[in-house]
Amino acid sequence: QSVLTQPPSVSGAPGQRVTISCTGIPSNIGAGYDVHWYQQLPGTAPKLLIYHNNNRPSGVPDRFSGSKSGTSASLAISGLQAEDEADYYCQSYDSSLGGEVVFGGGTKLTVL
């Protein structure tokens, strides 16, 4: 069971906007630690999509955006495209048990 909670799946039609939530607890997101997001296309390594809550690495389209509030964070994808179909993971830091990097369980995005 993952420390950060994500919905197992979301879906949307091309052109639509979808959001993926990442819910934490007071010892991780709620403590103010940043959230990062990764996209994993089938059969490939994860790729950094959003860092420090709402920053995009060079080359990531501005259709992808992130936000954080309280003990939760969200990834939004607007103008959905077929190539966005992938697994998405959130990541943060948890200060309990001496400190560790934690991930969400992942969300499968299906483009209808």
Partner 1 sequence: QLHLQESGPGLVKPSGTLSLTCTVSGGSISMGAFYWSWIRQPPGKGLEWMGSIYYLGYTYDNPFLRSRVTLSIDTSRNQFSLNLNSVSATDTAVYYCVRQAQSNLDYQFDHWGQGMLVTVSS
The gap from C-alpha 5 to its chain's centroid, in whole angstroms, comes to 10
Residue 32 to residues 16, 62, 68, 93, 103, Cα–Cα distance (Å): 31, 25, 9, 9, 16
2 binds partner 1, rule: CB under 8 A: yes
Do residues 68 and 82 make contact, with C-beta atoms less than 8 angstroms apart? no
93 binds partner 1, rule: CB under 8 A: yes
88 binds partner 1, rule: CB under 8 A: no
The nearest distance, CB 62 to partner 1, in angstroms, is: 18
The nearest distance, CB 81 to partner 1, in angstroms, is: 23
97 binds partner 1, rule: CB under 8 A: yes
Structure tokens at 70: 């309280």
Neighbours of 101 (CB within 10 A): 12
The nearest distance, CB 35 to partner 1, in angstroms, is: 9
Report the interface residues with partner 1, using CB under 8 A.
Answer: 2, 33-34, 36, 38, 44-48, 51-52, 57, 89, 91-93, 97-106
